[in-house]
Structure 1
Amino acid sequence: MTVHGFADVFVGRGEQLRLFTQGLADRRCQGFVVSAPAGVGKSRLVEECLARAAGKGFRVARATATTAAGTVPLGAIAHLVPKAVDLSDPVTGFATVARQLASRDGRALILLIDDVHLLDAVSAVLVRQLMDAGVVRLLGTICSGAPVGDAVEALCRGDAVGRLDLAELDRGDVEELLQAVLGGPVAQRTLWELYAASRGNVLYLRELVIGALDRGALVSDGEIWELATGPVRGTTRLVELISARLAAAGAEARPVLELLALCEPLSLTDAEQVASPEAVTELEYAGLVRVGQDGRRTSVALAHPLYGEVLRAGLPVTRRRALLLRQAERVEVRGMRRRADALHVASWRFTATGTADPAALTEAAALARYAHDYGQARALLQALPEEHHTTATRLMLGEALFELGEPQQAETVLTAAVAGAESEQDRLAVTMARTFNLFWGAADADEALAVNDAARAQVTSADALRMLRYCEGSMRIASGEAVRGLALLEDMEEDIRLAPDPVAWLTGALMKPLGLELVGRTGDAVAWAERAYAAHLTVDHHTLYPHPAVQLISLNHALSSHGRLTAAREVGRRGYAELARVTSTPVPQIWLAFSLGRTEWLAGHPASARRWYAEAAALARTHHHIRPLGPALSGLAACAAVLGDLEAAELACTEARNYLCPDVFAAEEYLGRAWLHAARGHLAQARTVLTDAARCARTAGLITPEAQLLTDIARLGGAKKVAGRLAELARQSDGALAGAGARLAAALAADAPDQLLAVATAFEQADADLLAAEAAAAAAAAWQRAGQARRATAATSLAATIAGRCEDARTALLTAAAPTARLTDREREVALLAATGTRSKDIADALHLSVRTVNNHLQHAYAKLGVTTRRELATVLERSEPQHGPAPRPAGQNAPGHRDDLLLDLRSERPGARAEFTTSGSPG
């Protein structure tokens, strides 16, 4: 993307350029003015408009109005006035200027004036007269909220002057822009942080991204761009731009800005104790602060988060300390009436002095935990002197460390909490926190179960024993022992209010839906997951447990397997957005990203699935969370293989082997290898891998995973072998995908096109696009074999329409209606291997056939396809089968020079950079 294409990237600005181009042809059009806050991109947009005007043959000119030039009559546009014109009589002089600037062909001069609101009155009057005379058409920018004089207001007024008010980018616009300039997807946490820091201001966003690239803080692992943890910092130029903006505050108002940088939001009362009411009002007029109503309290905050970053960086330590302590005193004198006051005062004193009152630290940590701000909770609790720690504070600290991806430190803290636990309730709470951390954080299921078992000998009440049983049941389900786990959770209350321990209930409720889904009870799974999420919301404020959105992981899984993929996607994205706003919740973010990847995979959207799997893997690596890495990388590999990117698929498969865990997602760890074999044409090997996985799932009683694996085997040429078992599983499951998979296998085995089209409809209704497209393509091939050309054509058209939603997926069934459809499954398999240069002997070994049989199949394939050599065979297959070689990586990923492109693509206005005047005559 070039710099001159930047304006087309986001917020419909391509449409505005189209309208401007149309306006050039309308002689009634006198101008076009763009109004927007500083840095939104108004100057970039009008520059593009000017370039288009020049391309149409118009003469063009530029001028920049400034505060200094505004003090001199005609200061901004003096270079437009011919030297021989006498302006001692303005009426005559202005008329002469109009005559001399007029072109012979009657085409107007397109005049770009940046910052029109700074134009002096005389310049405004002259430009208005030139516009009325048809000599000049104005192309201007105005900074939103800036005061505009009467002459300038008249310049921009009227139906003949178009006006466009540009808003700052929203989060979706920022994501689109970042992906375009970086050449690949951006992690959601990174997107949220850059959006929150820039607030959609394109200029600020550009400098933040370039600064992060320069420091190596924004990197791509080949799949996704991710920002390192820590403050988001920009370039030196960004600091200079913001510092210049902040300089608008006078010396009296500066202390308010400094205090806001450390303690925002402030009450208006506190702000007016630091500076006069008039000074605060001036800050609001200057756009440096926002004053709003928070309940009955009027609050003041900085107008942009980057203002705080720049102000804090420039504060000396002693000044920072004095401001924080003075503000803490103000709030304490007021009686700390608001709930958050304790948190603020403790944080301010801790930041200022490195310590605070232990009781205040504890209370502040609890409030931070309440807000799921685990980073702040950890900092406050680690500042607590050892002698003031209790079982409750260690429990809070252990949970915070787990949530921040530090399981080893969490285990150390929680072990110390065990030693100090005096009551049975305390021991139970610590045990549950330890098992959760050991199982999910440290990926040590055996140790987690051992801790749970040991706790049974230390508790006596029936309720406590039942809670430990729920804890074990949850771990059993997560370990792939769904039947055993569900038995342990059988007597769970449906209403959390009836449970003796809400944490234990939430632990069981988190995993019970997953267990129900695994054994084919997907409708019950959805109901339980919805119940668990609603219950979590009611108790979140007084229980030590992860964010309520963690329950949406199970709901996403249940909805997907139930055949409600669109609903699953919406739930997953909503949950991820909730977690992304709470920046210190990486563990549930990892699992929800993985779940979204699985949803998109089932929906047949491999590019979207790959992006979510990549996000899960990147987060898991960053936070040393081992358990999800194997299935996430395997899913990524499967997606890359289906997209034809075999190099990426191989890399992901290789890495995934380092993280194999015997758990509920073990079956999914086979997917990457299977689909990589399939993409290389080794369909028999792919089926063998999937068969092994399905056998493991069957042994464990996991109906839903087994059905999904067997459906994949049917898709890869093994329908006859799995159709019977899939029919059995469909009778044991209420999931729409399991039922449709069984019907697909039966229809493929029978080569029944009518049945295949019905299956395509069933998959479409479940939003499983790729499976629907494959079924329709298989129906087209069956019609071809039956000599029903018209029906084959209609089915092919349907398959192509559905496949258009599948993000360039490449599978064997999708090409079933291609010339190779005349081949049998075995002939196609042999032909695919031969086309890659595999020798007949090696093909025979791979497929467990004799060399003679292989050569016979190959000769049959030659005859059906009308070829005589392996080279011709490869050519035919390349046109009709999925790509069996490495595909290029997404543009821009790890590509040299991408930063130079970014410098162009995110270019925005540079103050004072356009004072020059240029003209170009009409062609010819």
Structure 2
Amino acid sequence: MSDQLPLVGREGELRAALRALAGDGAVLLSGPPGVGKTRLAAEVLAAAPHPAVRCYATVATSRIPLGAIASLVPTDLPAIGGTILPSSSVRAAAEHLSRGGRRVLSIDDAHLLDDTSLLVLQHVVRHKLTRVVCTARPGWGAEGLTVVHVDALDRERADTLLASALGGPADASTRHLVWANSQGNPLYLKELVAAGLHSGALTETEGGWNWSGPLELSGRLAELVDLTLGRLAEPQRRALELLAYGEPLEPELMPVPADLVDMGFVRVGDDGRARIAHPLFSARLRATCPTLRARAHRRSLADRLEAEGAARRGDAVRVATWRLDSGTAESPDVLARAAEQALSAQDWELAERLSRAAVARGTTSRVGLVLGLVLMYQRQCAQAEEVLAETMAAGGDMLTVIQVGCTRAFNLFFGLGDEDAAVAVLDEVTAQELPAELEHAVLFFALTFALEAAPLRIARLGGELLIAEGGWAETAGRQVLAFADQFAGRYTEAIARIEDNHEAVLATAGRFPSLINAATGVRNESTLRCGDLAGAETRAAQALAEVIEEDRWSVTQVPPRVLLSQSARLRGQAASAVRITAEGVPESGVQPMMWDVLLLAEFAAGAALQGQSERAERALARAEAGLRPAWRIAQFAVGAARSWVLAGGGRVNEAMQAALDNAATARAHGAHSEEIVSLHDAARFGADTSPRLLELAKSRKDPLTTAYASHAQARALRDPAGLEEVAAAFTACGATLYAAEALAEASRLSRLHDRPRDADRLERQASALAESFDGATTPGLVVTSTLAALTPRQLEIARLAVAGLTNVEIAERLAIAKRTVDNHLHTTYAAVGVTGRGGLRALFGQG
């Protein structure tokens, strides 16, 4: 990594500084340490039309009269008493600085100027003797200097700088970690990257640069933070240590230290709680605090919070954690309650630690539920099954047994793919007589399995039964039917159900929060498949950002990632699709859950679209190896990816058959959403699937399904005008890849029909759309560009050969020698990548 990062996101400040320099002639770049004032000043000086004279103020020079500018002024200036310059000497020094023609005086860290140097600077600025560029920390200024504020970078610009520093994009979790710890400070960001590269925590993966393991401050980064913390007196440092172990802290636990607030080490939020101003300060204080003192801090915090009653939400976690870390944790019940709260807060590592500590001290079965959930969330599904089976066997109150049983069944089905065992567990749970609401909750759980494993009519029947029960069951039943509508390709109906059910879902969110996530997923997926790509992308991007920001269960990233990748593929953004999915793909040694298989399949499809055949094949192999028979919906996703991996490898006929097979399997399941997509893929590979697609589109009427059917029909009819019309429909949805394919096919047909002007016009339109693609390549686009590369004579002879004429007949028809025909056909075969007339007929759509 270069010692100097590129200047990123400072265009506005640079323009403002250059305007001030050209106008008033003196500019002050003001901002906190590390934000890049010196780097920006260098850019200003480089852009200025005059040579620069640089000087640097330091703590050492601040004690010496004229210390910072001593090399630029005469050494024999008269002084009063040996140190104080009279006004005549100040004037002489200022005029000396302006000698040598038009130039720019640059002073770095001007807030450290000694008093005499400051007088000289003020004289230069007041009389405009030369242009001046200064950098300084907030709060310092001088008359006549135009101030340009230089603040920390915002999130977007910080991400851009991170990519520049690494030489490539970082994955979402790494971007979040670096942002959270740098807070947009370019110097801290640079040193974080350097520390990560040096320690090996930062490595390049398929999903971009990834940070693995904890953040450890070392090297230059630690020195920078220590330099700042070195301003603290010992009592101040101890107070800040206490806050580092407990933040945020309420005033009753720690009165707000006004001196630390004034020094910029502590900030107070709107809630009145104190926090350390920068996360790197907290990390360094904890890392350097002696062990016994750290334990004393935590013990003190626990004592103070217990004395206040520890009645707030999350207080149990704080007390238990402080007690555990200080070696004073004794109560298993306190640890158990804290483990549940940590689980609710989605702090998986802390929840596991607290639950294991509670188990070690002998506690209730509910901790087994927490531990089982945490293990499942960490993709350790086999271990989760062991813990949950043991917890379920231990018994407990009815509610706990049902929760453990449902969690165990969920893990067995979606984690291990064991449908029979999952159903057996639910049967065991319902063997006892249950209150109606609990019975309905178990049925809803069972129906989530049915939506994946059984024909959709079974899930619909279950949903109708729940609706008939009224109350919460009715809300859950409507959710099941919305799922079924989505899988059946009835997207407008699914969205309507979600909207009608919205208030009821919100009303039950406290007891059944999973309904909200499920409703969001159905709505987003249906929005995309209806053809509203922009709306779906906005929702999915927001959902993904929330999941990453809140550090939720990693598999909850899968639905928005898959949706964003699918949308990117529809737009021809193959590289973006690969990046989005690669960031979430689990490590190769991890046994994939159902959602991981979905993500791997989407990753394979994106890589195939980008032309990365080997990468696509590896991802598909992992998806197929992880697939379980119970995961039928995931099976269709893998089947769709398989057809594109085959096509990416040049096996288009096999790809077509794979798409037809996948469509038939999906149809048998009732998953017409997957059938529609695979039928359209088969049409793009050359099959005539228009009758079935027209039948499906007739009963659905959403824009994208209608466009799929029209596309298949126009291809089957070899209708250039129809293809041009459907291209407009795809463009209206945002599916520019399909629009480009339709225009390319229309161009190919026009060229074959000897309409070169139409062919060229359509080819230009297709090329204009393709300019926005980032690496997407499909058989339809390749074939058209291949034909466009032929000369008019080659195309004419090829067309006659496809029509069945022999070489002699072609020669007679065109009044040329047979050998000329032979040569043209030989050259054409090589140009289009076929070995004979059979391949040529396939290329012309007549194979």
TM bucket (normalised to shorter chain) is: 0.7 to 0.9
1:6 aligns with: 6
Aligned CA distance change for structure 1 residues 550 and 373 (closer, same or farther; 3 Å): farther
Maintained 8 Å contact 2:440/2:473: no
Equivalent residue in structure 2 for 1:292, among 248, 260, 269: 269
| Alignment match, 1:33 | 28
1:408-447 matched pairs, under 5 angstroms: 408-447=382-421
Aligned residue number for residue 259 of structure 2? 282
1:588 aligns with 2:556: yes
Q: Pick from 236, 239, 242: which aligns with 1:253?
A: 236
Are residue 124 (structure 1) and residue 118 (structure 2) matched? Answer: yes
Deviation at 1:785, TM superposition (A): 4.4
**Match status 1:240 vs 2:223:** yes
Deviation at 1:313, TM superposition (A): 0.8
Q: What is the distance in 2 between the residues matched to 1:79 and 1:686? A: 76
Which moves more between the two structures, 114-123 or 727-736? Answer: 727-736
Q: Among residues 868, 873, 889, which one is paired with 2:831 in the alignment?
A: 873
TM-score of the superposed pair, with normalisation by structure 1 = 0.80
Change (3 A) 1:548 1:256: farther
Deviation track 1:752-799 (CA, whole Å, cap 9, x = no partner) reads 233222212222222222112222333344444455555545544433
Q: Which residue of 1 aligns with 2:160?
A: 176
What's the offset of the Cα at 1:125?
A: 2.3
The 5 A counterparts of 1:98-247 are 98-102=94-98, 106-108=101-103, 110-144=104-138, 147-148=139-140, 152-154=141-143, 156=145, 161=146, 163-228=147-212, 230-247=213-230
Comparing 190-199 with 798-807, which one deviates more in the overlay? 798-807
Partners of 1:418 and 1:782 lie apart in 2 by 66
Whether the 8 Å contact between 2:437 and 2:472 is mirrored in structure 1 is no
Unaligned 5+ residue runs, structure 1?
A: 832-849, 878-924
Question: What is aligned with 2:841?
Answer: none
The 2-side partners of 1:874 and 1:492 are apart by 59
Structure 1 residue 383 corresponds to structure 2 residue 357: yes
Q: Is the 8 A contact 2:405 2:425 kept in 1?
A: yes
List aligned pairs for 1:826-837, cutoff 5 A: none
Q: How does 1:359-508 map to 2 (within 5 A)?
A: 359-385=333-359, 388-459=362-433, 465-479=439-453, 481-493=455-467, 497-499=471-473, 505=476
Structure 1 residues 133 and 647, CA, compared in 2 at 3 Å: closer, same or farther?
A: farther
**Deviation digits for residues 254-295 of structure 1, max 9, x if unmatched?**
2210100101122334434xxxx7xx222111111112341x
Residue in structure 2 matched with residue 327 of structure 1 by the alignment: 301
Distance across 2 between alignment mates of 1:49 and 1:648:
46
Range with bigger deviation, 453-462 or 211-220? 453-462
Match of 2:62 among 70, 75, 100: 70
Question: CA contact under 8 A between 2:379 and 2:593: conserved in structure 1?
Answer: no
One-letter amino acid of the structure 1 residue matched with residue 575 of structure 2: A
Amino acid at match of 1:251: E
Give 1:756's aligned amino acid. Answer: L
1:491 is paired with a residue of what secondary structure?
A: helix
Q: Which amino acid aligns with 2:68?
A: A
Task: Check whether the contact 1:777–1:795 (CA below 8 A) recurs between aligned residues.
Answer: yes
CA distance in 1, matches of 2:763, 2:430: 62
More displaced 10-residue stretch of structure 1: 306-315 or 284-293:
284-293
Contact 1:683 1:716 in 2 (8 A): yes
Equivalent in 650, 663, 667 of residue 694 of structure 1: 663
In structure 2, relative to structure 1, the CA distance for the partners of 1:365 and 1:470 (3 Å cut) is: same
Q: TM-score, normalised by structure 2?
A: 0.87
Cα distance in 2 for partners of 1:378, 1:281 equals 38
Whole-angstrom distance in 1 between the partners of 2:508 and 2:433: 25
Unpaired runs of 5+ in structure 2? 799-803, 811-816, 836-847
- Tell me the residue number matched to 1:344: 318
- CA distance 1:634–1:315, change in 2 (3 Å): same
C-alpha distance in structure 1 between counterparts of 2:680 and 2:613, whole Å? 23
Q: Secondary structure at the match of 1:290?
A: strand
**Higher mean C-alpha deviation, range 312-321 or range 363-372:** 363-372
Deviations, residues 185-225 of structure 1 (Å, cap 9, x unaligned): 32222222221122122222222222222222222223322
How far has the Cα of 1:235 moved from its partner?
2.9
Aligned AA for 1:268?
P
Q: Whole-Å Cα distance in 1 between the matches of residues 601 and 17 of structure 2?
A: 50
Structure 2 CA distance for partners of 1:821 and 1:4, relative to 1, 3 Å: same
Distance 1:338 1:302 in 2: 22
Percentage of matched positions with identical amino acids = 31
- Counterpart code for 1:666: Q
What SS does the corresponding residue of 1:249 show, helix, strand or coil?
coil
Alpha-carbon distance in 2 for matches of 1:808, 1:326: 59
1:354 CA drift (Å): 5.9
Shift of 1:2: 6.8
Aligned partner letter, 1:37: P
Q: Does 1:715 align with 2:684?
A: yes
For the residues of structure 2 that align with 1:326 and 1:19, how far apart are their CA atoms? 51
Residue 863 of structure 1 deviates from its aligned partner by 6.8
In structure 1, distance between residues paired with 2:689 and 2:153: 51
Verify the 8 A CA contact 1:40 1:168 in the aligned structure 2: yes
Deviations 1:389-419 (A, max 9, x none): 3333322332233223332232222212212
Q: How has the CA–CA distance of structure 1 residues 864 and 335 changed in structure 2, closer, same or farther, with 3 Å as cutoff?
A: farther
Kept in 2, the 8 Å contact 1:209–1:234? The answer is: no
- 1:475-874 aligned at under 5 Å gives the runs 475-479=449-453, 481-493=455-467, 497-499=471-473, 505=476, 512-529=481-498, 537-542=506-511, 548-549=516-517, 551-618=519-586, 624-662=591-629, 663=631, 664-718=633-687, 721-786=688-753, 791-814=758-781, 818=785, 820=787, 868-869=826-827, 873=831
Q: Distance in 2 between matches of 1:444 and 1:129?
A: 83
**8 Å Cα contact 2:605-2:645 kept in structure 1:** yes
Cα separation, 1, equivalents of 2:542 and 2:504: 18
- What amino acid sits opposite 1:613 in the alignment? T
Summarize deviations over 1:575-629 as a string: whole Å, max 9, x none.
Answer: 11221122252121234323332333344432222122112213x6586433334
8 A Cα contact 2:348 2:374, kept in partner: yes
Conserved in 2, the CA contact under 8 Å of 1:533 and 1:552?
no
Q: Contact between 1:636 and 1:649, CA under 8 Å: does it hold in 2?
A: yes
The amino acid across from 2:148 in the alignment is L
Deviation by residue 1:720-742 (Cα, 9 ceiling, x = unmatched): x2122221222344543222111
Contact 1:533–1:549 under 8 Å retained in 2: no
Q: Quote how far apart the aligned CAs of 1:386 are.
A: 5.6
Query: Which of 31, 38, 46 lines up with 2:41 in the alignment?
Result: 46
Aligned-pair distance for 1:872?
5.6
Amino acid at match of 2:583: E
In structure 2, give the amino acid aligned to 1:111: L
**Deviation digits for residues 61-87 of structure 1 (CA, Å, limit 9, x no counterpart):** 222222332232212111111345556
Letter in 1 for 2:426: N
Q: What is the DSSP-based 3-state SS (H/G/I as helix, E as strand, rest coil) of the residue aligned with 2:6?
A: helix
- Amino acid of the residue matched to residue 644 of structure 1? G
Counterpart residue type for residue 233 of structure 1: E
Aligned equivalents of 1:87, 1:868: Cα separation in 2:
95
Tell me how many residue pairs correspond in the alignment.
809
Partner secondary structure for residue 632 of structure 1: helix
